[in-house]
Amino acid sequence: MGIDAEKLLQRSRRNKILHPDDIPELDLYIDQIISLMCAHLGSEGEREPLTRTMIHNYSKAGLISPVRGKKYSKEHILQMLAIYSLKNTLSIAQVKRVLTGAAASGMGEAELARCFETQIARRDAIDARLGETAQRIVEENQIKLDTPEEVLSFLLTLTDITDTLSRFAAAISEEYFPDPEPPKKKEKKPKKMP
C-alpha cells in the first residue's frame, strides 16, 4: 500500500508552458496578459500565475522595463514570464538583479525568447533524468514509502535536495549577475561632547 513515487513525480511535472511563439507581436493590455498567462500556465484549482497587482508591483519595483502607456510589449511579457519562472527559487531582489544584469548586457526580446526556447527544449530530457534520479534514491535507500515515518523522512530528503538546488541557483545569480551597487556603509555620527 506504499506511495508510488514515480506516479506522483509524473503528476507533479509542469506540463503547461508559454512558448515565446505563443506571445503575440502586438502590445497587450494587462487583462490580455493575465488571460494569456492563465491559458498557458494556469491549472484548475490553483491561483492565477499572474495578477494585475503583481504586474503593477513588478513595474514599480523596476523588475520589468518601463512601460509606455497602458500596453505591454512582447519583451515585457517575456520579462514577466522570467519573473514567474525565477521567483519560486530566487528572492525578488535576486530576480531583479538577474533581469537588470541581463538587460545591461544587451539582452532584449530576441535573446529572452531564445533563453525560454532553450529551457523548453531541455525540459523533457531533464524531467526524464529527474525521474530516474528520484527512483534511484528510493531504490538505493530502500525507501518503502508505506508508513508515515518513511514518507516524512523522504519529504525531508526532497526538501533538502530542493534547498541545495535553490542555493545553487542563488549562487549562480550572484556570481553572474552581481549587485551593481555595493551596500552603502552607515555613516558614523560624531559623538556629542558633554
pLDDT of residue 4: 66
Joined together, the cell numbers standing for residue 24 give 503575440
What is the signed CA dihedral for 57, 62, 63, 68, rounded to 10 degrees?
A: 80
- The tens digit of pLDDT for each residue in 153-169 reads 888 988 999 999 999 99
Q: For residue 80, is pLDDT > 80?
A: yes
Q: For residue 172, is pLDDT > 90?
A: yes
pTM assigned to the model: 0.81
> Is position 193 within any domain?
no
> Is position 181 within any domain?
no
DSSP string, 136-181: HHHHHTT----SHHHHHHHHHHHHHHHHHHHHHHHHHHHHHS--SS
Q: For residue 181, is pLDDT > 80?
A: no
The band of 44, judged by pLDDT with boundaries at 50, 70 and 90, is low
- Span 74-93, average pLDDT: 94
> Is position 129 within any domain?
yes
Joined together, the cell numbers standing for residue 137 give 534514491
Tell me which residue range forms the domain holding 39: 5-176
DSSP 192: P
**Distance between CA 89 and CA 76 in Å, rounded?**
21
Encode burial over 36-47: b for 16+ CB neighbours within 10 A, e otherwise: bbeeebbeeeee
> Is position 81 within any domain?
yes
pLDDT of residue 187: 63
> Is position 107 within any domain?
yes
pLDDT of residue 128: 79
pLDDT of residue 137: 82
User: How many separate domains does the chain show?
Assistant: 1
